[in-house]
Chains A and B, each alone.
Chain A
Amino acid sequence: MDYVTEIQSSLASERGRSKRLSRAELREARWGYAFIGLWLVGFLAFYLLPMAASLVFSFLDLDLLNPSRSTFVGLENWRRLLFEDPLVWQSLRVTFVFAAISLPIGMVSALFLAVLLNSADLIGRNLFRTLFYAPTMVPVVAGILIWSGVLNPATGWINQLIQWATGLQVANPNGIRWLDDARIIYLTYTMIGIWGIGNAILYNLAALQGVPSELYEAAKIDGASWFRRLRSIMLPMISPVIFYNLVLSFVGLMQYFQVPYVLNGGNGYPEGTTFFYLIHFYRQSFQFLDMGYGSAIAWLLFVIALAITATLFATAKHWVYYAGERR
């Protein structure tokens, strides 16, 4: 269904083929390597070696302009990272709190919209699908600037719409200050992120179309309620895609950078609530040019991302249903 099963099945095919290769097989293997060679070189040059180098860098006080002046500082960068730098924990907390708010809202919205866009009772389905996808095509920087305008407390349409609909006097400089109020800033950022859920909607849509309609009909005949059908048929049947969306959203949120950087240049405004982990990384590595420390920050991100993805994959077998799975 997705990468998970791909990996499992390709690992399975790996076993049981340890015998010597025949001449034809050798020829085939050579051609195979010739075709994937490009990627192998790229993998070494742009992933494996830099990963190792990054680890080495994290033990150095790296001077990029005069590499010969770089000194080995042992665990100094790591000590600073784990025990001394309060911004590390602050930015990690910011990143995780935002993920905890933004991820569920984003995933539920994507699923909800997919269910609506999959409804047989919707007139003009294809047009609606295209239009709901369109904001995902808006260049990210342009999208952020558009949102920053529409969220303006006095002149933006959001407060004006709220004022018009509810009568509350919110459309003025002291009204709802979406981008300045630390209490709602994560909701604001989540709202901006909703413009990027087009792909998740499409994955959900494709998965919903793959659920055999006989299942729903059979459940209906058995008297299952709407909610029961949702919980016992739809969600399990599309759980692989939910899992896939979860992993991808999570990976994306760990690298959250562009929205806060474009909105406030990475100064954490308001009250440090938008000082995300990658902002810290960017400032240390590319503004203060402390690349040894930057490498340590990046490695910690890698370790955390790996740990959480591994946890997600480990829990997957309890709640993700694969139709083609052999038990």
Chain B
Amino acid sequence: MHLALFIIFGLLCLGGALNLLLQQHPINSALSLIVVMSSLAVLYLLLGAEFLALAQIIVYSGAIMVLFVFVIMLLNAGLEEKTRGSRAAYLAGIPGMLALFGVLAGTFFTLRSSFGSARLGAYLATTHDLAQVLFRNLLLPFEVTSILILVAILGAVVLARKEH
């Protein structure tokens, strides 16, 4: 069951990511990113992070990506144009990506026995556990992050406002 779900949603993730890479139109890229994020939420659920899975759906798929889609619609972004910069990027990007993936995957694969394995239902982080750590041990970072959000809101309002 766990294996089947992992394969299905892992493949969805990979497919979505590749589609993001290959699509020419930003709205198609945005939609494939939504697929990636929602499938990741299912993987979180498999790893016993139920609150995080739903937070992923609400924050990433439901808020951040809606913002992206909104901006794409607002600016009426069309197909991507090929320009001089992109050939160099192709030459450097694809081998670089393969090398990066090779190094990371090779490392994880050689160390695979020390990572152990995940069983369905073996570990569940409840909302209560999360709150204990977040609001006791990590209270200061939490407050600092809230200030960051406030600054970001003000910054966004200032930036997006039309000059009169």
A in complex with B: no
